Structure 1
Amino acid sequence: MAFKKILIFQTAFLGDLILTSPLIKSVKKSFPETEVSLVVRKGFKSVFAQSPYLSEIIEFDKKGIFRFSSFLKSKNFDLVISPHRSHRTSLILFLSGIRRRIGFDKSGFAFLYTDRVKHKMEKRVHEIDRNLNLLTPLKNYSLIVDNEPELPISDEEAEKTAKKFKLEKPFIVLAPGSVWKTKAWLSENFAKVGDYFYKQGFQVVIVGSNKDAPYCQVTEENMKGKAKNLCGKTTLREFFSIIKRASLVISNDSSPVHAAVSFNTPVVEIYGATVPDFGFFPYRNGIYVEPPIELPCRPCGIHGRKECPEKHFKCMKSITPEMVITTAESLI
């Protein structure tokens, strides 16, 4: 056996974690007799609970660098692969004493990795494929690369969630929230899209975390038809279960897109401040909508911003409900 214990380190946002699933699967399929563990940020342990590819999931609250590195050292991993590019991550993994450490060349403190892989922020290169490139230093082994994203939610678990929240098929999911304000399409427009599909006979379900509540509330209040607002009312796995059973998901450039892709649920992604070229477009079974006008200020940042730096927010204001509806109809 080439490696006894392999660690994958990904403590970024939820969407980034979901997009790590092909890497996790590929590592386990390539080294089936090896124990594969995963480090995630605090609160995300349930994302890959019951995954057949993982022996252990470890939470890290991003505090106590020396204590956590010492903990990892006690685990005796002999290989770590890190899609996460922070200075903190590089330092922790170096201090953990793991003999072989694979990371990106653009990571903070990248020199602390034993193997550095080129981070290709190139046009049309998806984040999934960037992560899978981390397997390149292991090409001398018989690698099995599986690039299909996957979340471990069974049909039974999804059905249980549907019964709990009284969700009736067919239903569509609206995800109007975002951590970054410039990545959020107008909630009033989400409402108009919701009304259109409500009239078409779909139940409309609004989802999001507690932080997304303002967006979700405005969407619900502006709808003329009925909507079930589950913002902040679900666990992560219930959130995934709802997306798994949906007929369609409409979302900003955020984690619901990648959850939908993981279940082959049709998804429409709305881009404003960010662009598909960053590599977070739907990997399959999805279409994205962009502003119909050229804007020299776009993109204004890889993650978006808290406020529009030009004060006009044309990137999102120029996208009409009709554009999103037409795109969505082509999927369902």
Structure 2
Amino acid sequence: MKKILIIHTAFIGDIILSTPLIKKLKAKYIDEGCSITYVTTPAGASVLKNNPDLDEIIAYDKRGAHKGFKGLYLLGKRLNYKGFDEVIIPHRYLRSSILGRLTGAPKRIGYDNASGGFLLTKKIPYDKSKHEVEKLLSFVELDSFADDQLSLYPSEMEKEKIDEIWKKNNLEGKKIILLAPGSKWFTKRWPLEYFNELLKKLAVKSEYRVILIGGHEESMLNMYIDKNIINLMGKTSLLDVAELCRRGDIIVTNDSSPIHIASAFEKLHIIAIFGATTRELGFFPWSKNSEVLENNDLDCRPCGLHGGDKCPKGHFKCMLEIKPEVVYDKIQEYFN
């Protein structure tokens, strides 16, 4: 049985986008069999839980237990004992290339623009014109593979938790709208006052129920609250959010990880609001049941791969010119 290791310690969204790669590896070695181990961040490990195609998930805590070169070396030594045949390294940072080398695997595959590329045995082209999922799938050669759907696996525990929320708030039969106002980067965040204006419009519709989702940072936001709005920010795990996405009708989100969680569920309609970033960067919603709202009249977009802490031009037109009325009308159009 072939022993394969994936090293990917990027953002949560990147990890979710790698789930078709996992399926493609399994499909390639379906006859001889393979075991797949995935090394990722603690957050990445939590969102990959219950994936039936993974034999082991190892959390690489580069800011905690595995901090510094000593932590990297000890993790590499642990991985070396496992005797991997092949290591796939989509993360283009030096630390990941070093970790791949420390495993001692005879075959180490990464992108041709990766830092520490000399530590790889095979380099594949990093094609900027492709979506991130397509880039990741290029690591594995298999002509017959067609299952490129993102895959997340909420457990019975997550399902029971969301069941309780459904019952407590009488959500059965309602049109469920998820709102995700967060992002790590300022220029990826649609203004909070715009989200609140949208909430006020949605709250008066008796057939709608709005669920606010996000992490602990988002739980500090001053969001508009009403009896028809359920605030779950800071109260859910990533797989809880996945289960909410599985049941929801629409999600309104910035360019952040909820886009990619939502893309794993075909029923959910995604309305994604893009400011600093664009389609060409490769991280648009992978789901066909999606639409992107953006200001295409600006020549300053994109202003960075991950956005930034402030608008370089000082006007922030990419977000400010996408008004709440536009998003509300899109929701109405979809339901009608």
TM-score by length of 2: 0.89
1:13 maps to 11
1:300 is paired with a residue whose SS is coil
Gaps of 5+ in 1: none
> Matched residue of 2:284: which SS?
coil
Letter in 2 for 1:303: H
The separation in 1 between residues aligned to 2:9 and 2:42, in whole angstroms, is 8
Moved more, 195-204 or 252-261: 195-204
Instruction: Report the alpha carbon displacement of residue 331 of structure 1 after superposing the two structures with TM.
Output: 3.5
Q: Which digits, 9 at most, give the CA deviation of each residue in 1:283-314, with x for residues without a partner?
A: 121110002x5223221101000111222211
2:216 corresponding residue in structure 1: 210
Shift of 1:159: 4.0
2-structure distance, mates of 1:126, 1:330: 28
Question: What residue in structure 2 maps to residue 308 of structure 1?
Answer: 311
User: What is the alpha-carbon distance in structure 2 between the residues aligned to residue 158 and residue 267 of structure 1?
Assistant: 22
Aligned partner of 2:290 among 264, 286, 293: 286
Q: 1:129 to 1:318 in 2, by over 3 A?
A: same
Provide the aligned C-alpha RMSD in A: 1.9
1:85–1:23: structure 2 CA closer, same or farther, 3 Å change rule?
Answer: same
Q: Contact conserved, 2:179 with 2:213, CA < 8 A, in 1?
A: yes
Deviation at 1:197, TM superposition (A): 2.8
Larger mean CA deviation between 314-323 and 158-167 belongs to 158-167
Is the 1:158–1:245 Cα contact (8 Å) retained in structure 2?
no
Distance in 1 separating the partners of 2:25 and 2:199: 40
Amino acid at match of 2:210: V
1:113-146 CA deviation, whole Å, 9 max, x = no partner? 1111111112xx211001101114xx5xx76352
Identity of aligned residues (%): 36
1-structure distance, mates of 2:124, 2:317: 37
**Cα contact 2:154–2:240 (8 A) shared by 1:** no
Residue 271 of structure 1: aligned partner: 274
Task: Tell me if structure 2 keeps the 8 A contact 1:195–1:225.
Answer: no
Q: How does 1:56-71 map to 2 (within 5 A)?
A: 56-62=56-62, 63=67, 64-71=71-78
CA distance in 1: counterparts of 2:264 and 2:308, whole angstroms? 27
1:270-292 Cα offsets, whole Å, 9 max, x none, are 0001111111111121110002x
Which of 101, 104, 127 aligns to 2:132? It is: 127
Question: Amino acid of the residue matched to residue 243 of structure 2?
Answer: S
Deviation at 1:243, TM superposition (A): 1.7
* Deviation, structure 1 residue 232: 0.8
What secondary structure does 1:151 align onto? Answer: coil
Q: Residues 167-203 of structure 1, C-alpha deviation per residue, up to 9 Å, x if partnerless?
A: 5143211000000011000112112222333333211
SS at match of 2:114: coil
> How far does residue 329 in structure 1 lie from its aligned partner after superposition?
3.4
1:8-157 mapped onto 2 (5 Å cutoff):
8-32=6-30, 33-62=33-62, 63=67, 64-122=71-129, 125-136=130-141, 144-153=145-154
Distance 1:157 1:192 in 2: 34
Name the aligned partner's letter for residue 117 of structure 1: I
Structure 1 position 30, deviation (Å): 1.6
CA contact (8 A) 1:26 1:143 kept: no
Residues 153 and 239, structure 2, Cα contact 8 Å, conserved in 1:
no
Q: Which amino acid aligns with 1:290?
A: E
Say yes or no: does 1:259 pair with 2:252.
no
Q: Which residue of 1 aligns with 2:182?
A: 177
Letter in 2 for 1:295: L
Give the Å deviation of 1:150: 0.9
1-side partners of 2:2 and 2:197: how far apart? 54
The answer as to whether partners of 1:289 and 1:327 remain within 8 angstroms in 2 is no
**Structure 2 unaligned blocks of 5 or more:** none
Which deviates more, 88-97 or 40-49?
Answer: 40-49
How many residue pairs align between the two structures? 318
* Matched residue type, 1:203: R
Q: Counterpart amino acid of 2:284?
A: F
2:204 to 199, 206, 223: 199
Counterpart residue identity of residue 255, structure 1: S
2:243 is matched with: 241
2:37 alignment partner, SS class: strand
Could you tell me whether the CA contact under 8 Å between 1:103 and 1:116 is conserved in 2? yes
**1-structure distance, mates of 2:311, 2:20:** 34
Supply the distance in 2 between the matched residues of 1:255 and 1:47 (Cα, whole angstroms): 11
Deviations 1:230-274 (A, max 9, x none): 111112221221122111111000111111110111111100011
Give 1:111 deviation, angstroms.
Answer: 2.2
